[in-house]
Amino acid sequence: MSMVESDTLQWSLRKENKQARTAWGLTAPALILMILILLLPVAVAGMLSLTNYSLGNAGFDWVGFKNYDRLFSRSTYEKMFIATFTYVVVVVPISMGLGLGAALLVNSIGRLGDIYKTIYFLPVMATLLAMAIVWEFMLHPTIGVINQTLEVSCGTFLEFIPFLAYGCSDGFPLWLGDRDYAIWVLCFIGIWQGFGFNMVLYLAGLTAVHRELYHAAEMDGAKNAWERFRLVTWPALGPTTVFVVTISCIRAFQVFDTVEAFWPQGGGPNKSTYVMMFAIYEKGVQQNLIGIGSAITMLFLIFVMFLTLMQRWLVERRVHY
Amino acid sequence: MRAVSQKKRNSTASQGILLLIILVFCIFPFYWMVTTSLKDQIVALQTPPAWVFEVTFGNYTEVLFKDGVWENLLNSLIIAVCTTFLSIFLGCPAAFALARFEFRGKKDLWFWFITNRMVSPIVLALPFFLIVRNLKLLDTHLVLILIYLTFNLPIVIWICTDQFRAIPRDLDEAAVIEGASQWRIFRSICLPLAAPGVAVSGIFSFIFSWNELMYALVLTRNNAKTAPAMAVSFMEGYNLPYGKIMATSTLIVIPVIIFALIASKQLVRGLTMGAVK
């Protein structure tokens, strides 16, 4: 509220009241819909996570925190946490780095950069499930284009690379069917899909970096490109980075489409790619264990809320320079 | 002097090479998808892969009409279009209010809309499933439309609020002096001026609804099954008909790619608006 003269106070208050009413009136439809569709289900999930409810049963028993207890004691769920966190920890920094690198490259070449930008952005927009199927075909152990291309190198000088030499004698990896590779392939596709989004965010961030700052840094003795990046670009991109990291984390936590496309049953070889979203779907919907599915949902929600609040806190602590 | 320009040329060349490598990395799966979909099944599975081949549209006709994928594509289209219109219809007034009016709780409301945009309701699949099942609404278009609305509304509000903010307030004030109501100002002045931004938010709504998989899997069976949910069921079993599968993928991806190519500049701006501020 701004400072107001005392004689106009009443008038302005009335005006403000009227404005507030109109504003709430305009926001109401969207707000009500979101409360109904968002808060209600959270409450339902929270309640169900304390029961052993399953569809078809007449009633259910309250089991307290037993479902949560199970999540932290069974090895399946240990694998679930490992797969989820491995995915997040690998995909977030690499897609951030690649996004930043691509943004700097695209930014440095001027007008032509627009074409690259558009193309790098395609995987972000394209239907992930459809692209996952394409990757599955390309990664097929025998008829996939990737292993077939690798085989071409057999018998050439390229065999000095240990990976190729090993593949030529003992066969190339099964990729998606291989418990040592599955999670890394999943990460790779996550990076392929997501880095363009980060690039776009960084490009927007770069437009806000003032030219004079570079001149000033040069005056201060930042001679080479790396110094200029370290002293000017990177700090100026602080707010963008916070945003990129939060949004990438949230997106990475939610990985589902690729896992569902590659391993519709069971979450990959040796459950190495049994990520949380998939676990919710498998337990709650496919196996009708709604209590445990809801418990995973609640944990998931807590992680994501934590990340969002963390971002807000970081932003409010002024990451601007 | 010469050394410097030589060095510069080298670095430009290496930049170009890097850009090209990333380009191939991005685009190769699309290329492979489209070419495989145009191959005969035998050619598609050939070893080594065929780079030059005879083009056939057999996969497309078979998938669309024999396997009935057109119905799923139609479902996807109905759901995406309805979601888009509804989210604009509900989102624009809210965005206008957030951009123009001061009122108590505005900051919290704004934060809440934005949080929802991040904590996308995808985690709520299970409670939705139960509620929807009890309401006997499983496998209807309506359910998916409503649910997609919840994650599209925040995006629409986010982008449109920025659009409305960019319109100078002088215009409103002039209209108020002329005696126009707030509704009139919204409809006749601000909405037309913000139209490009509104269109971008609409495209986003469309793409996100079109691409969604998890809810489609959980909440539909036959009637309202969307194209991505259908494509999943293609992947079961051995000796997969890869030509047909790639044709299905192409059909799913193409509308999105067209949008992304036509509106890429605006989409990028829409996504980054507010993000970097």
Query: Do residues A173 and A264 share a domain?
Result: yes
Mean of per-residue pLDDT scores for chain B: 82
- pLDDT of amino acid B66: 85
Question: How many Cβ atoms from other residues are within 10 Å of residue B259's Cβ?
Answer: 17
Question: How much is the ipTM here?
Answer: 0.85
User: Per the domain annotation, does A131 fall within a domain?
Assistant: yes
User: pLDDT tens across B146-191, in order?
Assistant: 888 887 888 888 888 888 888 888 877 888 888 778 778 888 888 8
Decide if A253 is inside a domain: yes
Quote the pLDDT of residue A10. 66
What is the rounded average pLDDT of the residues B257-266? 82
| In a domain? residue A55 | no
Rg (CA), chain A: 26
Q: Answer yes or no: is A57 within a domain.
A: no
Question: What's the CATH code of the domain at A182?
Answer: 1.10.3720.10
Instruction: Give a yes or no: residue A133 inside a domain.
Output: yes
Q: Out of B27, B33, B125, name the one closest to residue A280 (CB).
A: B125
A58 within some domain: no
Determine whether B21 is exposed, middle or buried from the number of CB atoms within 10 Å of its CB (0-12, 13-18, 19+): exposed
3-class DSSP state for residue A319? coil
For chain B, what are the domain ranges? Answer: 2-37, 65-272
pLDDT at A259: 92
Give the model's confidence band at B274: pLDDT under 50 very low, under 70 low, under 90 confident, else very high: low
Instruction: Name residues 217-276 of chain B within 8 A of A (Cβ).
Output: 217-218, 228, 231-232, 234-236, 242, 245-246, 248-250, 252-253, 256-257, 259-261, 264-265, 267-269, 271-272, 275-276
> Could B133 and A55 be called an inter-chain contact, meaning their C-beta atoms sit closer than 8 Å?
yes
Same domain, A302 and A209: yes
Q: What DSSP assignment string belongs to A114-126? A: HHHHHHHHHHHHS
Q: Greater confidence, B217 or A21?
A: B217
CA–CA dist B224, B216 (Å, integer): 8
What is the pLDDT at residue A319? Answer: 53
pLDDT averaged per 10 residues in sequence order, chain A, 321 residues: 52 68 76 73 85 79 87 90 94 94 87 85 90 91 84 76 78 84 93 91 83 78 78 83 85 89 84 90 87 90 82 69 44
Supply the range of the domain harboring residue A112. Answer: 63-316
Q: What is the pLDDT of residue B250?
A: 92
- Residues 136-175 of chain B with CB under 8 A from chain A are 146-147, 149-150, 153-154, 157
For residue range B122-146, what is the model confidence (pLDDT) as tens digits?
567 788 888 888 888 888 888 889 8
For A195-246, the pLDDT digits (tens) are: 998 998 898 888 877 777 777 877 777 777 788 888 888 888 888 888 888 8
For the cut 60, the answer to whether the pLDDT of residue B21 exceeds it is yes
pLDDT at B47: 73
Share of chain B above pLDDT 70, in %: 88
The identity of residue B274, as a single letter, is G
pLDDT value at B15 more than 60: yes
pLDDT for res A15 = 66
Question: Residue A4: what pLDDT?
Answer: 44
Say if A56 falls within a structural domain.
no
**pLDDT tens digits, residue range B64-101?**
888 888 989 999 999 999 999 999 998 888 888 888 87
> Do A72 and A124 have their domain in common?
yes
Write the CB contacts of B110 (distance below 8 Å, at least 6 apart in sequence): B98, B161
Chain A CB contacts of B101 under 8 Å are 19-20, 22-23, 26
Same domain, A152 and A112: yes
Q: B232-235: which pairs have CB atoms within 8 A and are 24 or more residues apart?
A: B232/A129, B232/A260, B232/A261, B232/A264, B234/A133, B235/A133, B235/A136, B235/A261, B235/A264
> CA-CA distance, B119 to B124, in Å (whole number)?
10
* Whole-number Å distance between alpha carbons of A186 and A259: 8
Give the pLDDT of residue A131. Answer: 92
- For residue A3, the model assigns a pLDDT of 44
Cβ distance of A264 and B106 shorter than 8 Å: no
Same domain, A300 and A190: yes
Domain assignment present for A167: yes
- Count of structural domains, chain A: 2
CATH class as words, domain B65-272: mainly alpha
pLDDT number for residue B277:
43
